[in-house]
Amino acid sequence: MNSPAVMQPHPLAAHAASEWFAEVIAAERSALERLERALPESIAATVALIAAQERPLTCLGVGKSGLVAAKVAATFSSLGTPSFFLNAAEAAHGDLGAVQEGNVVLLFSNSGTTEEICRILPLLRARRCVLIGIVGQADSTLARAVDHLIHAPIEREADHIGMAPTASTILQMAIGDALAVAVSRTRAFTREDFLRHHPAGLLGRQMIPVRNLMHSGAALPTVLPSASVAELLAVMSHRRLGAACVVDHAGLLLGLVVDGDIRRHFQARQDVYGTPARALMQARPLVIDVDATLGDTQLLMREQPAGLLVLPVTDAAGRLHGMLHANDMLNG
């Protein structure tokens, strides 16, 4: 059996590929720069309108603009504004039932004459929906029909024949993202709110409470300030965290001793076995609050010099509750 022929790129095409690639990036960047230089006057009113809504935002489009609308709906929801995508082609076949009376509808169309969208405009009007259009052609059926127009013109599409939705969809996406972020900031949406909206995956892990990860109880290496180096080494070897917390009888954290502290004392003097833990400890170690999350801990650790491996976990009164090791933060 003959193997299928493999098409080899023309030498000229291979040579020009990087240039073609750069031309597309430049064309799309140019479209964004023109928008930035002349922001539509309707932006502030549009952001205020969406931010004031209690009902979910409807993002409507078809084809490539529909794909953008779906992504923008997901971004709005992710940033605290409940939203859903409605395919304009399916809306006329029953899906319009998802749109309630008075809903705000964000419509995406470059031409402004998309048949599937124009067909349902009277039905949206009958529901007294507020219509916001992200439209490329200002003199079009859709642009004239919406309550708030965000004009998104392009000089040409970025592909070599000037027909594939490229620059136009990039512009639509950027406008949708910018609206979602501006509305989110208007609503005072926080990082903690964002993480609560992402319970799975890497983002969800950042909401894991420190309490769930820390070593505590019998697994927590602690010594009194009078403990000898021999006691320190025994506790640290048994708990295998490379450190020990120095506490008083009431459980208040007084300091932290890590392996390096002991090594440095051995190097500085011959006899350290009579040295108590209080003389070896770091008196003001970095700590994390017992009510913090893994995300809080990772932010704190990123601000510290490399090499920090353990964090005591304390409450507002300074009582020791546990200890976090760097491995706990990676595997949490």
Question: Do residues 112 and 137 make contact, with C-beta atoms less than 8 angstroms apart?
Answer: yes
Q: Which CATH number fits domain 210-331: 3.90.1150.10, 1.10.3720.10, 2.60.260.20, 3.10.580.10?
A: 3.10.580.10
Two structure tokens written together for 119: 């067909």
pLDDT at 139: 93
pLDDT < 70 positions in the chain: 1-15, 193-206, 268-273, 304-307, 328-332
pLDDT of residue 107: 96
Note whether 84 and 112 are within 8 A (CB).
Answer: no
Domains 18-189 and 210-331 share a fold: no
Kindly write down the DSSP assignment for every residue of 232-282, as one continuous string: HHHHHHHHTSSEEEEE-TT-BEEEEEEHHHHHHHHHH-S--TT--HHHHSB
Report helix angle 11-37 to 167-186, nearest 10. Answer: 40
Closest CA to 236 of 220, 247, 221, 214: 221
Say what the pLDDT of residue 11 is. Answer: 61
- Residue at token pair 């409940």: 82
Rounded to whole angstroms, how far apart are CA atoms 173 and 180? 11
Fold that domain 18-189 belongs to in CATH: Rossmann fold (3.40.50)
Residue 302 is predicted with a pLDDT of 72
Burial (CB < 10 A; 0-12, 13-18, 19+), residue 235, is buried
Q: Where are the domains of the chain?
A: 18-189, 210-331
* pLDDT value, residue 203: 52
Does the CA dihedral 181-184-190-196 come out positive or negative? negative
